[in-house]
Amino acid sequence: MSTYYFLPTRNVFGQGAAREAGELMKSLGGRKTMIVTDRFLGQNGMAQQIQDILTQSGVDSVIFSGAEPNPTDKNVAAGVAEFQKNGCDSILSLGGGSSHDCAKGIGMVAANGGTIHEYEGIDKSKNPLMPLMAVNTTAGTASEITRFCIITDTTRKVKMAIVDWRITPQIAINDPELMKGMPPALTAATGMDALTHAIEAYVSTNSNPLTDAAATMAIQMITHYLPKAVANGNYMKARDKMAYAVPGRHRVQQRISRLRPRDGAPAGRSLQSPPRRLQRGASPPRDAVQSDRKHDPL
């Protein structure tokens, strides 16, 4: 059986990485970009900040801030209309999973026609997407580097799973400077989402040595640095390490259908309870904001 390992062609990490968005978009051939984001980021200045970066590199852009939490077919349709009305040739998603999924849906329909409902399932598109870049602002779903797109069908009241290698962004940017504004509750929620995905990847029947290596490192980094990021959102090393955990816990682009005990583990093995520092209501550890090598070995 063949194993497929999908990732964006380029993954850019580190403080200030978002400032490269303009030149990176130019390298993809984008000249008129639609920034897909949510209402909050459209209003708090972050979308304008990215727009300014694009402008400095000679890339024109418009902002579409219609991505709702759990984006819908209506959000996608509105985005496609905006994309076409403005004569855009590229897409930059800004935000967390909802913005990225909405942008993927918009790109798929804009490139292939029809409605988003026609692409529910696996590899239903026929045409390649326009340049697609994802600028991430959370360390949770990892949608910025996957071929998955979850869109709510407002008529059937179900979430459509769209899995297509063509919608994997060509470039993903994880800049911890864009994540430091997340409040503690959102940091914790997205971090636990990331940890869950890493564990899923490790116990998946589709696992392989590549995915195991990524998943185990992600689990180590998340359990070590998530409490620190929750305790002090401005602690950039913790934010940076959580961003680096992204490729390790994005379910390795393989949808998990069944779980099994790991080789050599007893049948019925269950995962142990999380350390107290990750349990609900527990106080952050006293060393949560320390940054010397003794406390931050990874």
In sign, the C-alpha dihedral spanning 88, 127, 81, 164 is negative
Q: How far is CA 218 from CA 200, 225, 259, in A?
A: 12, 10, 19
The model's confidence at residue 1, banded by pLDDT at 50, 70 and 90, is low
pLDDT at 257 over 50: no
pLDDT at 280 over 90: no
Output the six-digit token pair for 196.
Answer: 């869950």
3-state class of 71 per DSSP? Answer: coil
Q: What is the mean pLDDT of the chain?
A: 83
Q: How far apart are CA 151 and CA 149, in angstroms?
A: 6
| Residues in CB range of 44: below 8 A, 6 or more apart | none
Query: What is the set of domains in the chain, with CATH numbers?
Result: 10-178 (3.40.50.1970), 184-278 (1.20.1090.10)
Beta bridge partners of residue 35, listed in sequence order: 63, 92
Bigger pLDDT: 278 vs 51: 51
Cβ–Cβ < 8 Å for 133, 24 = yes
Q: How far apart are CA 258 and CA 112, in angstroms?
A: 32
| Residues in CB range of 88: below 8 A, 6 or more apart | 32, 33, 34, 62, 130
The model's confidence at residue 248, banded by pLDDT at 50, 70 and 90, is low
**What is the arithmetic mean of pLDDT over 270-275?**
40
Phi, psi of 36 (to 5 degrees): -100, 120
Tens of pLDDT, residue by residue over 158-186, are: 999 999 999 999 999 999 998 888 889 98
Q: How far apart are CA 202 and CA 198, in angstroms?
A: 6
